Amino acid sequence: MQPQAVPVEELGITSDEAVWLGKPASRALEAEAHRAGLQLGQSGDIITLSAGAVATAEALAGFRRATDAVDGDAVGMLAGAIGEWGDWRAFGPQPKLIRLRGGGELTAQRLGAATAVEVPIAEPREVTFPLADRPGGREVTLVLANEVLCSTHHYSGLLWANLLALTPALWRTLLGTNVAVALLRSVWAWLRVRSTDPFVLAGALNHIEKGARIHPSAVVEASWIGEGARIGAGAVVRGCILGAGASVEPMALAQFSVMGPSSHLQRMGWMHFSLLHEGAAHAGAMQLGVLGPGASSKGVSVLMDQGVGTEIRVQRDGVLHPVPLGLMGVGVGRDSMIGSGVLVAPGRTVPPGVSILPPAGHVLMSIPQGIEGTARVTDGGLERIS
């Protein structure tokens, strides 16, 4: 079942250890296969994915149904607007669902001869997200579904694999797939918020695993809080998945993001639509960004996601590729560090093991005696200007 692992470009990790929905992708894929009713060794057929791809249970189960009547091997893509996410070259090669009749090895010859199948999408729906909490801030409308199939050869694909699966995963976890359970939870949520708006209702629900601790003054809405996670005083967490042992420190803000095991959103840091890997620590501002394992960004750093009147492109395999919505943040490789006061332009990737510090001339190193009036920092000292 597990697809071949590939390096996630410049992050210093492979696709099987990359975080997907709060845990390593290999474990998350096993959970999705189990939810789809795929039992290893139960059948002579093998259902798997192309190298470096991830897929939700709904995509796997839909592909199995669509190929039950197909003789021989089959290869599938998702249909419609949902399937178009596989066409983003920035993410990597087009992801595919693969069924090998009678088992055996996946070879280029078998893949080339396999019958092509489109997997229908059960309930596509439009969801509007804010991209900036400010007057005139841009909103985007995405077509989302429970069926997700995405390549993770590049950090941009890994990020969108999480974002596309985030809302369906939270909806399923918070409201449930059983009609009776969903109705009971909806009634309980309505008693809290007195609203019939489905997103307001979902905001009143959370999934909190054992050992997690949430400060009474924190605001936590529509989120999945993993085992042993911590959320501090005054923190705000909306529409997020926090992996086991993750922490959101006091006064921090996390929205529509995924945090891997033992990752940290530090005091007063904020992130929107972003991804932290195991042991990563973010203290600055980030949107549509990815921090690899052990990577860190210090306070007052900014990982940018858009330019002024420009469409963002990312580099994969030495070629610049456009990205969805024309927006993309920064990828920070394993154990790299972005220093305080550093701004990183959108679409850039910081390779593993690199520490980036602000210009020395912008850091005040000495204060001369008798300084008066207004001064500016120059070469680590002060220069009086008035």
Mind listing the pLDDT tens digit for each residue in 323-365?
Answer: 998 899 999 999 999 999 999 999 999 999 999 988 877 788 8
pLDDT tens digits, residue range 204-238? 688 899 999 999 999 999 899 999 999 999 999 99
Domain boundary among 148, 164, 180: 164
pLDDT of residue 143: 84
* Same-domain status, 363 and 351: no
* Same-domain status, 154 and 179: no
Does the residue 221 lie in any domain?
A: yes
Asked if pLDDT for residue 164 goes beyond 90, the answer is: yes
Domain region containing 107? 7-164
* Same-domain status, 333 and 381: no
Asked if pLDDT for residue 41 goes beyond 60, the answer is: no
* Same-domain status, 346 and 375: no
pLDDT of residue 365: 80
Does the residue 1 lie in any domain?
A: no
252-276 mean pLDDT: 97
Does the residue 129 lie in any domain?
A: yes
pLDDT of residue 270: 96
Task: List 372's β-bridge partners, or say none.
Answer: none
* Same-domain status, 103 and 201: no
* Same-domain status, 353 and 326: yes
Task: List 143's β-bridge partners, or say none.
Answer: 126
* Same-domain status, 148 and 133: yes
Does the residue 373 lie in any domain?
A: yes
pLDDT of residue 384: 80
Does the residue 240 lie in any domain?
A: yes
Asked if pLDDT for residue 187 goes beyond 80, the answer is: no
State whether residue 75 is helix, strand or coil.
Answer: strand
275 near 258, Cβ under 8 Å?
yes
pLDDT of residue 201: 59
Domain boundary among 131, 164, 197: 164
* Same-domain status, 28 and 107: yes
Query: CA-CA distance, 223 to 128, in Å (whole number)?
Result: 18
Domain holding 247: CATH number?
2.160.10
Structural domains counted in the chain? 3
Give the angle 328-141-235 at the CA atoms, nearest 5°: 65
162 near 19, Cβ under 8 Å?
yes
The percentage of residues in the chain with a pLDDT greater than 90, rounded to a whole number, is 70
pLDDT tens digits, residue range 105-158? 999 999 999 999 999 999 888 877 766 555 556 677 888 899 999 999 999 999
Domain boundary among 130, 164, 198: 164
pLDDT tens digits, residue range 69-113? 999 999 999 999 999 999 999 999 999 999 999 989 999 999 999
Does the residue 2 lie in any domain?
A: no
* Same-domain status, 366 and 293: no
pLDDT of residue 376: 81
Asked if pLDDT for residue 189 goes beyond 70, the answer is: no
Does the residue 268 lie in any domain?
A: yes
* Same-domain status, 43 and 110: yes
pLDDT of residue 179: 47
* Same-domain status, 31 and 102: yes
* Same-domain status, 181 and 215: yes
- Of the candidates 323, 327, 226, the residue with the CA atom closest to the CA atom of residue 273: 327
Q: What is the DSSP letter of 295?
A: -
